[in-house]
Amino acid sequence: MAAAAAASIRERQTVALKRMLNFNVPHVKNSTGEPVWKVLIYDRFGQDIISPLLSVKELRDMGITLHLLLHSDRDPIPDVPAVYFVMPSEENIDRMCQDLRNQLYESYYLNFISAISRSKLEDIANAALAASAVAQVAKVFDQYLNFITLEDDMFVLCNQNKELVSYRAINRPDITDTEMETVMDTIVDSLFCFFVTLGAVPIIRCSRGTAAEMVAVKLDKKLRENLRDARNSLFTGDTLGAGQFSFQRPLLVLVDRNIDLATPLHHTWTYQALVHDVLDFHLNRVNLEESSGVENSPAGARPKRKNKKSYDLTPVDKFWQKHKGSPFPEVAESVQQELESYRAQEDEVKRLKSIMGLEGEDEGAISMLSDNTAKLTSAVSSLPELLEKKRLIDLHTNVATAVLEHIKARKLDVYFEYEEKIMSKTTLDKSLLDIISDPDAGTPEDKMRLFLIYYISAQQAPSEADLEQYKKALTDAGCNLNPLQYIKQWKAFAKMASAPASYGNTTTKSMGLLSRVMNTGSQFVMEGVKNLVLKQQNLPVTRILDNLMEMKSNP
**In degrees rounded to 5, what are phi and psi of residue 329?**
-55, -35
Contact (CB, 8 A) for 253 and 548 = yes
Angle (nearest 5°) at CA 85 between 79 and 89: 120
CA atoms in the 13 A half-sphere facing the CB of 506: 15
Rounded CA gap, 409 and 236, in Å?
Answer: 56
- The backbone region for 74, taken as left when phi is positive above 0, alpha when psi lies in -120 to 50, beta otherwise, is beta
**In degrees rounded to 5, what are phi and psi of residue 388?**
-65, -40
Question: Count of CB atoms within 10 A of residue 519's CB?
Answer: 9
**Domains 161-259 and 261-290+308-356+376-410 belong to one CATH topology:** no
Rounded CA gap, 199 and 234, in Å?
Answer: 8
Task: Label the pairing between strands 137-142 and 105-112.
Answer: parallel
Residue 69 neighbours by CB under 8 Å, 6+ apart: 41, 42, 43, 44, 47
Buried b or exposed e, range 319-351, using 16+ CB within 10 angstroms = bbeebbebbbbbbbbbbbebbeeeeebeeeeee
Q: Give the pLDDT of the chain (555 residues) as one tens digit per residue.
A: 234 445 789 999 999 999 999 998 887 765 667 788 999 999 999 999 999 999 999 999 999 999 999 999 999 998 999 999 999 999 999 999 999 999 999 999 999 999 999 999 999 999 999 988 889 999 999 999 999 999 998 999 988 888 888 898 888 888 899 999 999 999 999 999 999 998 888 999 998 888 899 999 999 999 999 888 767 777 765 444 444 455 578 899 999 888 888 889 999 999 999 999 999 999 999 999 876 544 444 455 555 567 889 999 988 899 999 999 999 999 999 999 999 999 988 888 778 777 766 544 555 555 566 667 777 777 777 778 888 889 999 999 999 999 999 999 999 988 998 998 888 877 777 788 888 888 888 899 999 999 999 998 887 878 888 999 999 999 999 999 999 999 988 888 876 555 445 555 444 544 433 333 334 345 566 666 777 767 777 788 888 888 888 877 655
Q: Which residues pair with 149 in a beta bridge?
A: 155
Cα dihedral 146→151→152→158 (10° resolution): -20
Predicted pLDDT at 368: 60
- Helices 118-130, 90-102: crossing angle, 10 deg rounding: 20
| Domain residue ranges of the chain, discontinuous segments joined by + | 9-143, 161-259, 261-290+308-356+376-410, 429-495
Q: Which of 199, 192, 160 is nearest to 42 (CA)?
A: 160
Under DSSP, is residue 19 helix (H, G, I), strand (E, B) or coil? Answer: helix
CATH number, domain 9-143, options 3.40.50.720, 3.30.70.20, 2.30.30.40, 3.40.50.2060: 3.40.50.2060
How is 167-232 classified by DSSP, letter by letter? HHHHH-TT--HHHHHHHHHHHHHHHHHHHHHHT-PPEEEE-TTSHHHHHHHHHHHHHHHHHHSTTT
Longest Cα–Cα distance of the chain, Å, equals: 92
Q: Which of 400, 399, 454, 412 is nearest to 269 (CA)?
A: 412
CATH architecture assignment, domain 261-290+308-356+376-410: Alpha-Beta Complex (3.90)
Rounded CA gap, 112 and 120, in Å?
Answer: 11
Contact (CB, 8 A) for 267 and 415 = yes
CATH number, domain 161-259, options 3.30.70.890, 1.10.3080.10, 3.40.50.1910, 3.90.320.10: 3.40.50.1910
How is 343-366 classified by DSSP, letter by letter? HHHHHHHHHHHHHHTS-S-SHHHH
How is 54-102 classified by DSSP, letter by letter? --HHHHHHTTEEEEEETTS----EEEEEEEEEE---HHHHHHHHHHHHH
Q: Helices marked H in 131-176 — which ranges? A: 167-171
Task: Label the pairing between strands 38-42 and 77-86.
Answer: parallel
